[in-house]
């Protein structure tokens, strides 16, 4: 039995964000990229996070905190970011647990197309 994707969509991880993480598909929308990045935090895929970060803002390396468990994602609002746009934003609320204590990160992220692919460009 497959585990459900951490991004919150009702699909198995391998058929949802897993295919983006493996490089078998690319995000079609800014929201799909945002969801796949949340899932990458959830499964500890730092390489995917770096690959999908705009080069102008991307850190040289990324060490994910293994004490943080990402548990749920709420997409609150999107602007642009569709298959016909070149820019978009996704406002979201990411729920996590750190050492058993719940926490929430709320952010409005900006995404742009770079060489035909969506990348994370930073916080609005």
**Number of folded domains that form the chain:** 1
Residues spanned by the domain of 19: 13-123
CATH code (residue 86) = 3.10.450.50
> Per-residue confidence at 2, pLDDT binned at 50, 70, 90?
low
Q: Does any domain span residue 118?
A: yes
Instruction: Look at residue 9 in the predicted model and tell me its pLDDT.
Output: 96
Specify the higher pLDDT residue, 2 or 8. 8
- Closest-CA residue to 109 (of 11, 29, 46): 29
Q: Has residue 5 got a pLDDT over 70?
A: yes
- pLDDT tens digit sequence for 65-87: 999 999 999 999 999 999 999 99
Q: Does any domain span residue 5?
A: no
> Contact 52/36 with Cβ under 8 angstroms?
yes
Q: Does any domain span residue 20?
A: yes
């Amino acid at each position: 039995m497959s585990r459900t994707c951490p991004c919150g969509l009702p699909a198995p991880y391998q058929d949802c964000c897993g295919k983006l993480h493996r490089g078998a598909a690319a995000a079609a929308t800014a929201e799909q990229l945002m969801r796949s990045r949340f899932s990458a935090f959830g499964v500890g895929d730092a390489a995917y996070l770096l690959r999908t970060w705009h080069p102008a803002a991307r850190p040289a390396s990324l060490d994910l905190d293994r004490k943080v468990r990402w548990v749920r994602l709420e997409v609150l609002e999107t602007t642009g970011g569709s298959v016909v746009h070149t820019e978009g934003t996704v406002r979201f609320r990411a729920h996590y647990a750190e050492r058993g204590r719940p926490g929430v990160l709320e952010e409005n992220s900006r995404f742009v197309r770079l060489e035909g692919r969506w990348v994370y460009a930073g916080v609005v």
